[in-house]
Amino acid sequence: MKTVGEPSASPGEKALSVQRSSPDLGAHRPRRTRETLFPAGTGEVRDAVLAARAGKTPLYPLSTGRNWGMGSRSPVVDDCAVLDLGRMNAVRTLDLDAGYAVIEPGVTQRQLAALLEGTPWMLNVTAGCADAGVIGNTLERGDGTIRARTDDLLGLEVVLGTGEVVTTGGLDRHGRRAGRIAGPDLTGVFQQANLGVVTAAAIGLVPRPETIALVHATFARDALEEGVDALIRIGRARVAEHGMLRLKELFVVPERGAAAVPPGADPDTVTIQVPLLGSPAAVRDAERGIRAVFQDAGTPVSVRVLDTATTTADDPLYARARFARGIPTCDALRAGLRVRTCEEADEAAVGWLMFLPTVPLRRESLSTAVDLMRAESQRHGTASMLEFNVISQHSTNMVVQCPFVREPDAVERAHALRAAARDAFRRAGFPVYRSNIDQQDSELAVRAEDYRDGPLGALKDLFDPDGIIAPGRYLVVAR
Ligand SMILES: Cc1cc2nc3c(=O)[nH]c(=O)nc-3n(C[C@H](O)[C@H](O)[C@H](O)COP(=O)(O)OP(=O)(O)OC[C@H]3O[C@@H](n4cnc5c(N)ncnc54)[C@H](O)[C@@H]3O)c2cc1C
């Protein structure tokens, strides 16, 4: 196994390290880390886990380490060795009859999407980096263009904190999956958890339809209420062929935060976006239905419906058209962060924090969430970009992106905003669905107060009795 940095001390002895974790787009508190390990396969991951157990030294697994806005490559607690799984980049199975791939953590969106070109299947890509993996984002409950990444996850191979290797979700020990087998399925307990290191995942692919259109409707910020009503009606009526419905590009720009806002951001408008997938007739029908909703809502909208197959590279919506076709691209992301390559992201002049609460798909809740965020953004002099991803007919994943210039005062304000927003949203009944490294502790405490899921700790004792996997990440802080 390749190792970089201070080697661990002998088993049983705690290695001392003075390394600071890598630069981080979110400017979280820097962590002290030990060496970085680069295993080449499940066997080497198992060796690393067993050595960590013997030495009682924690491991922090990464797939591609682009957890931007939530900690990048940094562990939650100090003194972890980083287990970088980027070298494990094999596509173990690609079943183009059944429509799934079994991939390792280092497999990137770009890599898998390229393999699917010209096949009847496509990947549900995110608007994040093309060279980000699929597994890290899926384990974090990220959102793709077509659906929530959780909906892609069919099964896992995991090295538990005990060193035992298990598979879930009907993924067999030979890397095949006929379907979900009888009995309980543990797949979900390894999402947003620290019970083991995921070494492979079965990912469901999206059938490539004949037509993919992208509805892009813009309406005045003053007509937000009507826009929200339209969103709810479309969201409740959505059918399987529709991609992820989003209300997006709702900007709150206080004067002190303006410098970090991406060029072209328009605080006076809001966008509703949804990809439509299917036969030409089905897509036309869906488009008609959506236009009718806008008309009923009386929202003064400009509606564009793009045929994503013919959208040209000079169209401002080109990147979105590509995402809808399962093709990842970094152009928009780099423009927002003002970097030339994604390798520069963690040291970009503009920093970026994410705040990710869950908000019900109902008028009052969505309005309250917007009002709360507006108030906190103004109070903390930090801009925020709001988006609601309609992940079901009942709830939305709200995505709040807070760009900030990297000056001490602006960094402090952005972090104060993230903390204050968390408290305000919790009081309003909207807890976070995805956390960052600085706030895991308090978010775990909130969880313990508000939810009756104490026995989850018993799973930690069973699967990782020495507490060596990603301490503090989503489940049980104490080691
Ligand atoms: C401008 C911008 C746009 C973005 N767009 C999106 C978007 O559209 N959708 C979205 O969801 N996110 C988005 N992000 C957030 C983020 O960049 C992505 O979620 C990214 O994919 C996460 O990085 P990664 O895939 O490299 O995961 P990693 O950083 O490798 O991992 C993420 C987390 O999962 C854990 N983990 C990773 N691999 C394993 C494993 N094998 N076993 C156990 N635990 C593991 C890690 O400990 C870490 O905490 C965006 C960020 C920015 C700045």
- Amino acid occupying residue 6: E
Could you tell me if residue 8 is inside a domain? no
- Contact between 161 and 463 under an 8 Å Cβ cutoff? The reply is yes
The reply to whether 289 and 168 lie within a common domain is: no
| Helix, strand or coil, per DSSP, at residue 218 | strand
> Is the model's pLDDT at 63 over the cut of 50?
yes
The reply to whether 174 and 278 lie within a common domain is: no
Q: How confident is the model at residue 239 (pLDDT cuts 50, 70, 90)?
A: confident
Q: Decide: residue 268, CB within 10 A, 0-12 exposed, 13-18 middle, 19+ buried.
A: exposed
Interatomic CA distance for residues 463 and 170, integer angstroms: 20
Could you tell me if residue 310 is inside a domain? yes
Interatomic CA distance for residues 231 and 369, integer angstroms: 15
* pLDDT at residue 44, as a whole number: 98
Q: pLDDT tens for residues 158-195? A: 999 999 999 999 999 999 999 999 999 999 999 999 99
* pLDDT at residue 89, as a whole number: 98
Q: pLDDT tens for residues 117-134? A: 999 999 999 999 999 999
> Is the model's pLDDT at 220 over the cut of 50?
yes
The reply to whether 179 and 263 lie within a common domain is: no
The one-character DSSP state at 469 is B
- Contact between 375 and 423 under an 8 Å Cβ cutoff? The reply is no
Total of domains in the chain: 2
The reply to whether 199 and 304 lie within a common domain is: no
Question: How many angstroms is it from 103 CA to the middle of ligand 1?
Answer: 16
What does 327-363 look like in DSSP terms, one character per residue?
----HHHHHHHT-SSGGGGGG-SEEEEEEEEEEESSH
Q: Which of 164, 183, 207 lies at the terminal end of a domain, its last residue?
A: 207
Could you tell me if residue 461 is inside a domain? no
The reply to whether 221 and 334 lie within a common domain is: yes
Residues 6+ apart with CB under 8 A from 356: 397, 398, 399, 400, 432, 433, 434, 435
End-to-end CA distance of the chain: 26
| Helix, strand or coil, per DSSP, at residue 271 | strand
Q: How confident is the model at residue 17 (pLDDT cuts 50, 70, 90)?
A: very low
The reply to whether 157 and 284 lie within a common domain is: no
The reply to whether 174 and 225 lie within a common domain is: no
> Is the model's pLDDT at 240 over the cut of 70?
no
Q: How confident is the model at residue 241 (pLDDT cuts 50, 70, 90)?
A: low
| Helix, strand or coil, per DSSP, at residue 449 | helix
> Is the model's pLDDT at 392 over the cut of 90?
yes
In this structure, what is the dihedral angle of CA atoms 260, 265, 269, 275, given to the nearest 10 degrees?
Answer: -120
Question: How many angstroms is it from 341 CA to the middle of ligand 1?
Answer: 17
Its domain, for residue 197, covers: 91-207
Looking at 7-16, 216-225, 251-260, 312-321, which range is the least confident one?
A: 7-16
CATH number of 262's domain = 3.40.462.10
Question: How many angstroms is it from 393 CA to the middle of ligand 1?
Answer: 25
- Contact between 158 and 196 under an 8 Å Cβ cutoff? The reply is yes
Interatomic CA distance for residues 323 and 144, integer angstroms: 9
Looking at 101-115, 134-148, 430-444, which range is the least confident one?
A: 430-444
The reply to whether 218 and 202 lie within a common domain is: no
Q: Most confidently modeled of 10-24, 186-200, 251-265?
A: 186-200
Q: pLDDT tens for residues 397-450? A: 999 999 999 999 999 999 999 999 999 999 999 999 999 999 988 888 888 888
Could you tell me if residue 277 is inside a domain? yes
Q: pLDDT tens for residues 67-94? A: 999 999 999 999 999 999 999 999 999 9
- Contact between 269 and 212 under an 8 Å Cβ cutoff? The reply is no
Residues 6+ apart with CB under 8 A from 298: 226
Question: Closest ligand 1 atom, CA of 143?
Answer: 11
Question: Closest ligand 1 atom, CA of 71?
Answer: 49
Question: How many angstroms is it from 44 CA to the middle of ligand 1?
Answer: 23
> Is the model's pLDDT at 42 over the cut of 80?
yes
- Contact between 399 and 249 under an 8 Å Cβ cutoff? The reply is no
The one-character DSSP state at 467 is -
- Amino acid occupying residue 67: N
Strand (E) or helix (H) holding 460? helix 456-463
Q: Decide: residue 316, CB within 10 A, 0-12 exposed, 13-18 middle, 19+ buried.
A: exposed
CATH number of 193's domain = 3.30.465.10
- Other C-beta atoms closer than 10 Å to the C-beta of 181 total 13
Atom 15, ligand 1: residue with shortest CA distance = 68
Q: Which of 144, 172, 207 lies at the terminal end of a domain, its last residue?
A: 207
Q: pLDDT tens for residues 326-352? A: 999 999 999 999 999 999 999 999 999
The reply to whether 264 and 399 lie within a common domain is: yes
Residues 6+ apart with CB under 8 A from 25: 68, 69, 72, 337, 345, 346, 348, 351, 352
Interatomic CA distance for residues 290 and 118, integer angstroms: 30
Q: How confident is the model at residue 26 (pLDDT cuts 50, 70, 90)?
A: very high
> Is the model's pLDDT at 321 over the cut of 70?
yes
391 CB near ligand 1 (under 6 Å) = no
> Is the model's pLDDT at 59 over the cut of 70?
yes
Percent with pLDDT over 70 in the chain: 95
- Other C-beta atoms closer than 10 Å to the C-beta of 231 total 26
Interatomic CA distance for residues 229 and 221, integer angstroms: 14
* pLDDT at residue 300, as a whole number: 73
- Contact between 97 and 127 under an 8 Å Cβ cutoff? The reply is no
Atom 32, ligand 1: residue with shortest CA distance = 136
* pLDDT at residue 477, as a whole number: 54
Percent with pLDDT over 90 in the chain: 86
Looking at 43-57, 163-177, 448-462, which range is the least confident one?
A: 448-462
Q: Which of 151, 179, 207 lies at the terminal end of a domain, its last residue?
A: 207
In Å, how far from its chain's centre is CA 289?
A: 30
The reply to whether 250 and 368 lie within a common domain is: yes
132 CB near ligand 1 (under 6 Å) = yes
> Is the model's pLDDT at 47 over the cut of 70?
yes
* Residue position matching structure tokens 């020990």: 173
Question: How many angstroms is it from 68 CA to the middle of ligand 1?
Answer: 7
The mean pLDDT of 239-251, rounded to a whole number, is: 88
63 CB near ligand 1 (under 6 Å) = yes
